[in-house]
Structure 1
Amino acid sequence: MKTLILALAATTALTGAAAAETIKEFNIGILGGENAQDRMTNLECFRAKVEAELGVPTKLFTPADYDGVIQGLLGGTLDFAWLGASAYAKTYLTNPEAVDVMLTKQNVDGTTGYYSIGFAKADSGIKSIEDAKDKVFAFADPNSTSGYLVPGAELQEAHGKLEEFFSEVKMSGGHEQSIVGVANGDFDAAVAWADGLGNWEDGFNSGAFRKAADSGLVDMSTLTEIWRSKLIPEGPMVVRKSAPQDVKDKMYALLDTMWETDPTCAYAVAAGEAKDFVPVKHEDYLGILAARKLQEAQ
């Protein structure tokens, strides 16, 4: 990985005054998907590591929705975030010079993708997406890849206008809210993200179900899978493009080695079990960019 780090530095190196820029603080944006306090608690280890590595005060920011993180990156108030592919697409389409992509999660089987998983209560009688017709269905957030963009497109292609297929379509506000909402009977069915590996009763190996199961928010045996999307590219960790190169290099190296140096913290960052964090590039998201353009045009 050292070669990759050096290559990244060489291809994106800054010159002159920009290279000498220093930072006084570093701000990390955390996408929604679970309540703000849980996000802060689970990622405190990461915040502390970044602060120690960069030598400046480091803060976590937990906006109420995905757009809060996107706007923070666009406005320069956030320096780093792990975006979903759709959120990255919105960021890039708004300002191609806002962020650089860095790394993403590699699953235990070597893949770098995940799924949108449709689910319902196990005792609801809903065993397939067809059984959810004329029921209340929840997506997570308009800027979520697995919580809206991909499942919305795939389900619409298969079943037509979703507002006519389901009795009501709602936005829960996040993956955790969707899971808890179905478990509590607020929605008949919903979608949330998972790597699709491992056991259902554990919430798979990683993803929103795993986090909800680990935190005791839901007993997975009370839920059942009713639908699964095509494989979705795992979203990129991004850093503010105008950040000093040494800051980018330190963040890259920290994440690149985290599964070796601190697997417990890496587990928290990855929302479950994974193999590694591996490099990605802008071109890996061209398909999602095209889908996002189409969605916005409609």
Structure 2
Amino acid sequence: MLTRRHTLTLAAAGLAAALATPAFAQDWKAKFPELVFAVVPAENASGVTERYAPFAAYLTKELGVKVTVRVANDYAAVIEGQRAGNIHIGEYGPSSYVRAWTVSNGGVEPFATLRAFDGSTGYYSVAYAKKDTAGAKLEDFKGKNLCLVDPNSTSGNNVPLYSMAKMSIEPDKFFGKIVNAGSHENAVMAVQQGTCEIGFNWWNSEEDSNLSRMANKNMVKKDDFKIVFKSDKIPGSPYAMLSSMPAELKTAISKAFFDMQTKDKAAFDKLSDGKSPGFAPMKHEDYNVTIELQKFVDDLRKKRS
């Protein structure tokens, strides 16, 4: 039976526990009972679910609120969702992040990117052709069909356009047809099936690329393709969160990301194909070069319209 002294002792313990839990933590959890994380798939729906479900479960456990993964149709949907405040965390390429930052007047901020296998940050845009196709470089494919990716894709669209401009290649005149494949996976399949002779894609290394990921799932054979173009290094693809969220929440999200490699290695390896040693911190200034790239692409589109 509880005596008055026991009751007072328990009450005091409860008060101490309440004081030990910062009020701001309760405040942001009340305001954000669910966080939405949005991703644009570079692979089929089942592959996205397999890759991101453990990630969402880990974040839910670490943050103490439900984290829901939303698979967007394209980068524009993620950009608009963050601009409207409906998406709290978004996974971007550098160009789509800059677009989101611009249209939201700085309403999103990058905080992390996956490191490459060697610990570095950044990746490349490459152009694939079938191995048995004549031609060793991009300039050899005049009059052939070209596959690009989502208009907001850095490696699949914007860097290719910028790089071709520096090579004095006007895609509309140089290639027989330009196809918007939509996703990186679709671009590879289009080259495989002969819809396009050239297809742009992202690439970290021979063992870490969209092509190697597809090959590991027996969708294609890696040896059936060759690289006929490789760009300069691109800043790492950022994870970005809403700038307007409470500082405590943003700190908690960032900490959960950087702790993931040690706290839930299985989920982290699923996310990164087991080919990354962890996350690297990123800030807006890291994408200054991408802002210049985006301006070029926007100016190019205005000339075409």
TM interval, short-chain normalised: 0.7 to 0.9
2:174 counterpart (157, 165, 171): 165
Map of 1:245 onto structure 2: 247
Query: How far off is 1:21 after superposition?
Result: 6.1
* Residues 57 and 260 of structure 1, relative CA distance in 2, 3 Å threshold: closer
The answer to which of 286-295 and 271-280 deviates more is 271-280
Paired AA for residue 71 in structure 1: E
Matched, 1:52 2:53: no
* Equivalent in the alignment of 1:217: 219
1:23-80 deviation digits (Å, cap 9, x = unpaired): 1211110023222332122111101111122222321111211111111111111111
Other-structure match for 2:266: 264
Distance 2:191 2:278 in 1: 32
Task: Say whether residues 1:123 and 2:123 are aligned partners.
Answer: no
Aligned position for 2:41: 32
- Normalising by structure 1, we get a TM-score of 0.86
Matched, 1:287 2:296: no
Tell me the percent identity.
Answer: 26
Deviation at 1:262, TM superposition (A): 2.9
Contact 1:194 1:208 in 2 (8 A): yes
Contact 2:161 2:297 in 1 (8 A): no
Q: Report the Cα distance in structure 1 between the residues aligned to 2:102 and 2:27, rounded to whole angstroms.
A: 25
Aligned to 1:146: 155
In 2, Cα distance between equivalents of 1:292 and 1:278: 23
Q: Distance in 1 between matches of 2:277 and 2:66?
A: 30
Are the counterparts in 1 of residues 91 and 240 from structure 2 also a CA contact under 8 Å? yes
Per-residue deviation at 1:214?
Answer: 2.4
The Cα of 1:256 is off from its aligned counterpart by 0.7
Q: Tell me which residue corresponds to 1:12.
A: none
Q: Following the alignment from structure 1 to structure 2, what is the Cα–Cα distance between the partners of residues 121 and 146?
A: 19
The alignment status of 1:186 with 2:187, answered yes or no, reads no
2:207 to 205, 208, 214: 205
Secondary structure of 2:157's counterpart equals helix
Q: TM-score, normalised by structure 2?
A: 0.84
State whether residues 140 and 178 of structure 1, in contact with CA within 8 Å, keep that contact through their aligned partners in structure 2: yes
Deviation, structure 1 residue 272: 5.1
- 8 Å Cα contact 1:18/1:244 also seen in 2: no
> Any idea what the Cα deviations from partners look like across 1:176-198, whole Å, max 9, x if unmatched?
111111112221111100113xx
Report deviation, 1:232.
Answer: 0.6
1:101 matched to 2:110:
yes
Match of 1:175 in 2: 184
In structure 2, the CA distance between the partners of 1:20 and 1:115, relative to structure 1 (3 Å rule), is closer
In structure 1, list runs of 5 or more residues that go unmatched: 1-14, 197-203
Instruction: Say what the alpha-carbon RMSD is for the aligned residues.
Output: 2.0
Residue of structure 2 in register with 1:86 after alignment: 95
Alpha-carbon distance between aligned partners in 1 of 2:81 and 2:209, rounded to the nearest angstrom: 24
Gap change, CA 1:20 and 1:30, over 3 Å in 2: closer
What secondary structure sits across from 2:43 in the alignment? coil
Unaligned runs of 5+ in 2: 1-23, 301-305
Q: Larger radius of gyration, structure 1 or 2?
A: 2
Does 1:76 find its partner at 2:78?
Answer: no
